[in-house]
Amino acid sequence: MNQLILKLPVSVKIALAPLLVMLCLLAVALQSFIGNSQTSTALEAISKTSLPRIAAAGNLKERAVQLNGMVMQSLAYEGAGLKADVIKALDNKIGEEFKALGAMLQEQKKTVSAKQPEAMARLVATEEALKKFERSALDTLDMKSAGLGTAASMMSTAESAYAELRRQMTAVVDTEMAQGSAAATEVGKTVSLVNTGTVILATLALLLSAGVTWYCNRLIVEPLGQAVDIAREVADGNLRHHDIQA
């Protein structure tokens, strides 16, 4: 290898060091590009999947609270003796809200991949809790026309079902938050790995470039020094033949 380099023209030797520096810089840029692409992909996944799912889970919980409030409001209207059409309109709205909440849960389930069994299990449990709450709440509303005393006997069941629904929805929110946090941690690890790799690669490139530059400079300067020495000897009258490797 050394003999091959020695036989190269001087112009090639001069260009060899800058060429190697450019190749090293290209390697550093390529490594940074790949790392940045991986980071961008991970961040895009968080913004398009994790964050919307966290927001949707929070919205589900909020609407469940509002729905329970509407059930209590209907019972309060009945106790206050409001007009039947007002109470009926509220009860119809409660039924529609139960359907909307069930549809939201179905949409949430569609966003969960097969690689997230815990999240899917939480949503399935929440769906079952919602159905149980819906049955007990609607039964309570149906019974209130027979008297608040009769409806009150059903309220304990409805309240228990609602408590279970809230517990499951809280678990869904916590699961989504945990998965979002884990995804963010992975992004942080990727960024750290990219930065470390870039520093290491840049350091190696600098050392390698410095070594090659020194070596090529030595290959050029030493023959020139020999030529100067021979020229001085010739000037002094020494005409012996000298071989110079350049």
Q: What is the pLDDT of residues 114-171, one digit of tens each?
A: 778 888 898 999 999 999 999 998 888 887 765 656 566 678 888 899 999 999 999 9
Alpha helices, H only, 46-147: 51-80, 84-110, 117-143
What is the rounded distance in angstroms from the CA atom of residue 32 to the CA atom of residue 191?
A: 10
Average pLDDT over the chain, rounded to an integer: 79
Residue 176 has pLDDT above 70, yes or no: yes
Report the length, in residues, of the chain: 246
First CA to last CA across the chain, in angstroms? 15
